[in-house]
Chains A and B, each alone.
Chain A
Amino acid sequence: MKRSLFIRPALSAALLLVGSLPLVAAPQGTKGVEEFDPLAFPGKVVDDVIVPVPSEVFSVLDKLGEPNWNAELRKQSIPTTSDRTKLSLLFGYTVAEGFVAVQAQDKEAVKDIGHDVISLAKSLGLSKSVLPHAQAILDAADKGNWSSIRKEFDQTQKTVRDTMENMKDMDLSQCVSLGGWLRGTASVTSVVKKSFSADRAELLNQPMLVEHFVTSISKMPGSTRDHDVVKAIQKGLASVLEQMDGAVDGFSKDAVNSIGKTCDSLLSEILAKK
């Protein structure tokens, strides 16, 4: 018994070492990058997907016109819950709402969202790692330092996801990304609907991200996968993917409406007080 206590750190260290070397050798083919063919790619595909933050899309919408970001702010109250899956979705939602508040340059909204971030982090047991970022958001809001707030929202989300992944809660980390993506996409569809153009609508061409979320949900543990809200998201994403796959010649107004409705309906479930 005592002996195993001494062996365990060695095993843990070995696993850590193996885990830190995710890429192993694969036979090199004869085709080079110049003749690029992904089906005959002679190297290794990195599976990790980085989900863009909403402000990446918002910045394009700003270049294409002047959206009324204040009208996009929802200012909805965050329900109290002990359900960690829902808390993770809410966390992603709240950070994405923060990016909308930055676009709107609404100091009070940013501060309210900063407080929501602190509250959600406490409920998730992650306040220690989140508090410095949340405080930085509140301080930067006072100064109207929008670029700094944007950076802190991005860092907050990364910190929370990294902490969850370190605690082996990969499913919760994915829920943070999902909540954020749904809120960001709902904003994009709302702006595009108000001033439709092919260029704006094209921003919804994100099938790789939707497929990534669908795959991530299918790999979640049963308890998370069977969560009512996650099941609804899985179903909703299938419908969104259908719209994206069908937009070969560009997105129609109807397709944008449909994606927006799906996102809004899923966000209602995330924000429901139950």
Chain B
Amino acid sequence: MNFSMERHLSMNRPWSRFHALAAACVLLLGATCVLATVDESHDFAMEAATPFVEQGFIVREDYWNGEVKSGQKLMITHQLFKGNEYAFWLGTSQEGVTLDMKIYDEKNQPVQISAKADKFFMSARVNPPKTGTYKIVFELKSKATPGVPWALAYGYR
């Protein structure tokens, strides 16, 4: 019994190896693609930041990113300091995506002073009326795919 089982395994092993390797390659390729598009999303966020940098904004190296279901709202809480002006840049690597972003204070009142959307990114500016925790609420809508990669960066001056 043991012998036949071992024989059975050894006969199938080349196929198992092939399948496992193929699966690994496909999954790695998929993961790489997702990571690549998330990185590309950050590139677009940085493209949105370019004119702000020319105006004296300092871009933070840290940023948020991920992939989200099309149309699902996301909320990030973040510390802002009164006296600074902030800009948030939302980017996606996917074409045909509608972006929306709003910033709310501790009393849930919208506080952004301007917002501008482009093909792959949008930006929003805020002069925090108080030092404290703010909420950045955003969504990305795509008619083409269920999942949308995104990256959100910010800067201050």
In the complex, A97 Cα to B156 Cα: how many Å? 20
B73 touches A46 (CB 8 A): no
Contact residues of B with A, CB < 8 Å? 9, 13, 16-17, 20-21, 23-24, 27-28, 30-31, 34-35, 38, 58-64, 66-69, 71-79, 81-84, 100, 102, 104, 108, 110, 130-133, 135, 137, 139, 147, 154, 156-157
Closest chain B residue to A158, Cβ basis: B61
A10 touches B81 (CB 8 A): no
Give the number of residue pairs across the A-B interface with Cβ within 8 Å: 165
B20 touches A64 (CB 8 A): no
18 contacts between A and B (CB under 8 A): A3-B9, A9-B24, A13-B24, A17-B34, A23-B69, A36-B104, A38-B135, A46-B76, A50-B60, A51-B62, A53-B60, A60-B81, A60-B84, A63-B83, A151-B59, A199-B82, A206-B131, A206-B132
In the complex, A154 Cα to B63 Cα: how many Å? 12
In the complex, A23 Cα to B65 Cα: how many Å? 10
A44 interface residue (CB < 8 Å to B)? yes
A25 interface residue (CB < 8 Å to B)? yes
A7 interface residue (CB < 8 Å to B)? yes
Interface secondary structure of A, over-half rule = helix
B17 touches A6 (CB 8 A): yes
A76 interface residue (CB < 8 Å to B)? no
The residues of B that contact A59 with a CB separation of less than 8 Å are 58, 83-84, 156-157
Q: Smallest Cβ distance from B101 to chain A, in angstroms? A: 9
B133 touches A16 (CB 8 A): no
Contact residues of A with B, CB < 8 Å? 2-3, 6-7, 9-10, 12-14, 16-17, 20-26, 28, 33, 36-38, 41-46, 48-53, 55-57, 59-60, 63-64, 147, 150-151, 154-155, 157-158, 199, 202-209
The residues of A that contact B139 with a CB separation of less than 8 Å are 33, 43
B81 touches A23 (CB 8 A): no
B74 touches A46 (CB 8 A): yes
In the complex, A215 Cα to B66 Cα: how many Å? 22
B35 touches A207 (CB 8 A): no
B79 touches A206 (CB 8 A): yes
B72 touches A17 (CB 8 A): no
The residues of A that contact B27 with a CB separation of less than 8 Å are 10, 13-14, 16-17
The residues of B that contact A57 with a CB separation of less than 8 Å are 81
Q: Smallest Cβ distance from A235 to chain B, in angstroms? A: 22
Given contacts A6-B20, A49-B77, 19 further A-B contacts (CB under 8 A): A3-B20, A10-B21, A13-B23, A13-B28, A20-B67, A23-B66, A28-B71, A36-B102, A36-B104, A38-B75, A38-B104, A43-B73, A45-B75, A50-B60, A150-B58, A199-B83, A202-B130, A208-B77, A209-B79
In the complex, A18 Cα to B86 Cα: how many Å? 33
In the complex, A64 Cα to B83 Cα: how many Å? 8
Q: Taking each of A36, A46, A207, which has the highest tally of chain B beta carbons within 10 Å of its own beta carbon?
A: A46
